[in-house]
């Protein structure tokens, strides 16, 4: 049977343990990633009265797709690219930026199991990503006058014991690398295949 002094010491110990557990459970503050924009670049001016952004790709929001878990989703980056780079500068006709693909799929990789697995730090998952977009000009009657497309793909692997913060950093880097490459490739294709519709 505990006396009053023992009960007081026990209660104090429980409070200290509870405080320690609560302190350790506080989540780390979210990382603020830099904004990715292309507003510092000159716009690509199309001879159209308006530019419409069409999102043909709809994220499934379930495995094996993981793009919705990105700090900046590829779809959002592509939408921002269209806003920053493609500008209506004419009086007639219709321009469109069509987002055809913005997927990222997680592919589990084979790793060693049991005691042997403890000796190796292996890549546990591969992320396969693809961005695809098309820019086009349509006449008032609806037929297509000119267009240009670009597709960018990337694959990155992640170690088994990567933290959530490290995973988010990898995801952000993937989006950044891909949208920058898409910008370069698509602009080059627009200038090559849509010359007559540029101002």
Predicted confidence at residue 119, as pLDDT, reads 54
Predicted confidence at residue 111, as pLDDT, reads 74
Mean pLDDT of the chain: 86
What are the sequence ranges of the domains in the chain? 44-197
Overall pTM surpassing 0.85 (yes/no): no
Predicted confidence at residue 27, as pLDDT, reads 56
Which CATH fold topology does 44-197 show? Double Stranded RNA Binding Domain (3.30.160)
Predicted confidence at residue 21, as pLDDT, reads 41
Predicted confidence at residue 142, as pLDDT, reads 85
Predicted confidence at residue 114, as pLDDT, reads 55
Predicted confidence at residue 110, as pLDDT, reads 87
Give me the residues of the chain with pLDDT under 70, please. 1-29, 112, 114-121
| Long-range contacts (CB closer than 8 Å, 24 or more residues apart) made by 187-190 | 187/44, 187/85, 189/148, 189/149, 189/150, 190/44, 190/135, 190/148
């Amino acid at each position: 049977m505990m006396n009053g002094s023992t009960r007081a010491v026990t209660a104090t110990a429980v409070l200290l343990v509870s405080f320690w557990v609560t302190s350790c459970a506080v989540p780390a503050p979210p990382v603020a990633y830099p904004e990715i924009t292309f507003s510092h670049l000159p716009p690509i001016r199309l001879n159209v009265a308006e530019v419409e952004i069409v999102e043909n790709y709809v994220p499934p929001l379930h495995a094996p797709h993981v793009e919705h878990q990105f700090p900046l989703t590829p779809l959002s980056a592509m939408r921002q690219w269209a806003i920053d780079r493609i500008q209506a500068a004419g009086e007639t006709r219709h321009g469109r930026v069509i987002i055809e693909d913005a997927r990222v799929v997680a592919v589990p990789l084979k790793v060693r199991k049991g005691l042997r697995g403890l000796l190796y730090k292996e890549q546990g998952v591969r992320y396969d990503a693809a961005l695809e977009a098309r820019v086009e000009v349509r006449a008032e009657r609806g037929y297509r006058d000119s267009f240009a497309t670009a597709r960018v793909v990337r694959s990155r692997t992640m170690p088994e014991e990567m933290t959530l913060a490290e995973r988010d950093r990898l995801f952000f880097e993937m989006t950044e690398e891909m949208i920058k490459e898409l910008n370069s490739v698509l602009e080059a294709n627009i200038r090559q295949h849509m010359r007559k519709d540029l101002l």
